[in-house]
Chain A
Amino acid sequence: MTNSRPKGFANPWLVLGFEVICVLVYELLQKRGASATVHLSQVWSWTGLTALASPLTWLAMGLMIISLLSWLYVLRYIPLSIAFPLSRVVDILVPLSCWMILGEDISTRRWCGIALVIIGLILMAKPAAQLEEKL
């Protein structure tokens, strides 16, 4: 890689973390926004259009755009084979935060999946750190 890496807040690993948090928050906001407006119309709620009545949905859309732009920025610096698996942490953060914040249950199978993802992340952490030294 020829280009020099930005430091501080522009650090691509930090931006990757920011992207994951944006996705996590917008998924939770989508759920909140959609649930809050389901009473408006039983029929139209299935199209997602009623969710537009909630400001939370619009906040979610804003975060979606921010997360996409951050993802493009990350791709500029980090290999896809590392960045993409790491970005999927969000798939375990969503059930974990639903469990902690919304009090939803997590099945045994899901706990097993969460454990596998964590082991995978630990395995990837060292090669990712080595990449960091090389750059």
Chain B
Amino acid sequence: MSWQVFVLIPVALIAFVAGQLCLKRGMESSAAKGFHDRKVLAFLGCGIFSMTINFLITLGLLAHLDLSFVYPFQGLSVIIISLAAAVVLREKLNLRLTLGALLISVGVVLVSMS
């Protein structure tokens, strides 16, 4: 396995998580400020940009690796997104929600591995 894999899989994951966080932040502020606000547009733009990066890197990885190797890493995004939303967006996360997200994450990894 080449070094690209070790670099690109985390980069794709980070881009995906960052993209979802930006989209969430943008859509949340749009509720109060509307879509003409510069900040709202900046967050949505960053979100779409990050998701595009993730999309392209994932395609690149799929060109070289099996889907059953690449996709389980996307399953990890569930728990990472929940924790990142709690830290970055200050969303309230209790033990029950964290455990639920963790089980869903592990479940998705198992489903996509086979």
- Residues of A near any B CB (own CB < 8 A): 2-3, 72-73, 75-77, 79-82, 84-85, 88, 91-92, 95, 107, 109-110, 112-124, 126-127
Q: How far is the CB of B17 from chain A (nearest CB, A)?
A: 10
Q: How far is the CB of B103 from chain A (nearest CB, A)?
A: 3
- Point out which of A81, A110, A115 has the most chain B C-beta atoms below 10 A from its C-beta: A81
Known: A110-B110, A116-B106, A120-B107. 15 other contacts (CB 8 A): A75-B24, A76-B28, A76-B31, A79-B91, A81-B81, A84-B81, A91-B112, A107-B114, A110-B114, A113-B109, A119-B103, A121-B104, A124-B100, A126-B96, A127-B96
Q: Does B65 contact A (CB under 8 A)?
A: no
Knowing A2-B32, A76-B30, the reply to whether A91 touches B111 (Cβ < 8 A) is yes
Knowing A3-B31, A72-B27, the reply to whether A81 touches B107 (Cβ < 8 A) is no
- Point out which of B78, B81, B89 has the most chain A C-beta atoms below 10 A from its C-beta: B78
Interface range on chain B (Cβ under 8 Å from partner): 35 or more
Q: Does B57 contact A (CB under 8 A)?
A: no
Contact call A117/B101, Cβ cutoff below 8 A: no
- Point out which of A109, A114, A117, A127 has the most chain B C-beta atoms below 10 A from its C-beta: A117
Closest chain B residue, CB of each to CB of A115: B107
Contact call B78/A84, Cβ cutoff below 8 A: yes
- Point out which of A112, A114, A127 has the most chain B C-beta atoms below 10 A from its C-beta: A127
Contact call A123/B91, Cβ cutoff below 8 A: no
Contact call B96/A116, Cβ cutoff below 8 A: no
Contact call A85/B24, Cβ cutoff below 8 A: no
Q: Does B2 contact A (CB under 8 A)?
A: no
Q: Which of A3, A84, A95, A126 contacts B20 (CB 8 A)?
A: A84
